[in-house]
Structure 1
Amino acid sequence: MKAMILAAGLGTRMRPLTDHTPKPLLRAGGKALIDYHIEKLAAAGITDIVVNCSWLADQLETYLGDGSRYGVRIFVSREEEPLETGGGIVQALPLLSGENNDAPFLLVNGDIWTDFDFATLMSCKPEAGHLVMIKNPSHNPLGDFVLSANGLLTEKPDSAAANNTTTFSGISVWRPSVFSEFSLGRRALKPVMVAAILRQALSGQLYEGHWWDIGTPDRLAALDAFLSS
């Protein structure tokens, strides 16, 4: 299995920290945020990792190098302007497809921290996609999708109570074929998820371990305190 780390965002909510440093290189617990993902992916046995970049891309490319210091191979997909999640995947698709061009790949947001074990997804073979969900955090109290008892995700009804929904963690597994017909350009991932839900092809699982969305300087500081302790 290959993996892709989404690292092309502008980090606008993290300013001024991201004025001169790309968000994946911000530090918590003595490490750059992206180091945690790469090390965990390597520990899971994933050796080919695609990283998309845009804002201050030179810094990120220089920092990562070819991946050899992590024991992996890193391939950079550079975006002149951020293409959003879906568009970033479409551009990087040639790097994610191997001899079996529909072998699932693991996708992880670069702006989260978690102790989730990526190795548990190595045998995941979804029809379209598989999302790791978490209980709704305070910054997303209404959640994203309903995780049904049969393991499939459904859209939340307008009247859904918060305890009926779960929040997407930013960790998922996808079939390349889901994106193969899209043209290059900006594209959100949410409509792709909804289309898969309508085909009953989007599964999920609930994770209840440690998870942080590093969306603000305050959350980064809190994560740094947590890891440092």
Structure 2
Amino acid sequence: MKAMILAAGFGERMRPLTEHTPKPLLQVAGVPLMEYHLRRLAAAGCNEIVVNVSHLADQIETYFGDGDRWGVNIAYSHEDEPLETAGGIQRALPLLGDEAFLVVNGDVWIDYPFEQLIDYQLKPWEQAHLVMVDNPPQHPLGDFCLDVEGRVSERPEPLAGYTYAGLAMFSPVFFAHLRPGKLALRPLLDQAIADGSLGAQYYGGEWADVGTPERLKELDKQVSSGVRSVQEQVE
């Protein structure tokens, strides 16, 4: 299975840190955020990686190169301007092939065992399968609800659901109908819910959305002090 790491965004909420450093290269305990994903994907046996790049793309390509240092092969999907999640994936489809693929946001921290998703087989009704986590303080109501069959549904007000972790498996069919251009992922997920083709699983492990300088600083403090374990991520 191939995997795509999303790394093209500007990181607006991370300014001023991202004015000179792309968000996936911001460090936690001395290691770039995206490198944690890369090392763990390689350890899980996923060696074909696609990375979309735009903002400060040269820094990402210079640091990661062709991926040989981690035992993987990296192909880059270049965007003149960030195309958002769905637009970026649609552009990268020729690099991702005809089989289901894994997608992970380059700016999240998660200790999810990637091999579990790599080994997952989409159900006949699924075109996408999300990993969802407990709601963080900044997003207390979450994104979606999840039924006992693993189907995703809209979160009814005022009930809380779960938060999409920025990690998922997609069938290429999920994006094949899209026209090239800038497009967010959420409208596609909402349509898949309406069509009954969106599945998910709950994960109760460590996860953090590194969306602001304050959250990055706190995560760095936790990892550096051992509050969050880093051993599995970097071995």
TM-score (norm 1): 0.95
Shift of 1:199: 1.8
| Alignment match, 1:196 | 192
Shift of 1:67: 0.4
Name segments (4+ residues, structure 1) moved above 3 Å.
Answer: none
Range with greater deviation from structure 2 (1-10 or 198-207): 198-207
Q: What amino acid does structure 2 have at the position aligned with 1:202?
A: L
Q: 1:207 and 2:203 equivalent?
A: yes
Separation in 2 of the partners of 1:176 and 1:197?
17
The 5 Å alignment of 1:111-122 reads: 111-122=107-118
Separation in 1 of the partners of 2:208 and 2:174?
28
CA deviation map 1:6-43 (0-9, x unaligned): 01110111111111111111111110111000001101
Range with greater deviation from structure 2 (192-201 or 131-140): 192-201
The 5 Å alignment of 1:153-172 reads: 153-157=152-156, 159-162=157-160, 165-172=161-168
Separation in 2 of the partners of 1:15 and 1:145?
29
Q: What amino acid does structure 2 have at the position aligned with 1:156?
A: R
| Alignment match, 2:131 | 132
Q: What amino acid does structure 2 have at the position aligned with 1:25?
A: L
Separation in 1 of the partners of 2:145 and 2:119?
23
CA deviation map 1:100-150 (0-9, x unaligned): x1x110000111011111010112222200000011111111110001111
CA deviation map 1:46-100 (0-9, x unaligned): 0000000111111111111000001000011111000000000000000001xxx
Q: What amino acid does structure 2 have at the position aligned with 1:4?
A: M
Separation in 1 of the partners of 2:49 and 2:111?
19
| Alignment match, 2:6 | 6
Shift of 1:183: 1.2
| Alignment match, 2:233 | none
The 5 Å alignment of 1:49-64 reads: 49-64=49-64
Q: Tell me the SS of whatever aligns to 1:168.
A: strand
Consecutive unaligned residues in structure 1, runs of 5 or more: none
Separation in 2 of the partners of 1:220 and 1:132?
22
Consecutive unaligned residues in structure 2, runs of 5 or more: 226-235
| Alignment match, 2:182 | 186
Separation in 1 of the partners of 2:133 and 2:170?
18
TM-score (norm 2): 0.92
Q: What amino acid does structure 1 have at the position aligned with 2:203?
A: Y
Matched pairs, number: 222
Shift of 1:200: 1.3
Range with greater deviation from structure 2 (121-130 or 139-148): 121-130
Q: What amino acid does structure 2 have at the position aligned with 1:203?
A: G
The 5 Å alignment of 1:33-112 reads: 33-97=33-97, 101=98, 103-112=99-108
Separation in 1 of the partners of 2:183 and 2:167?
18
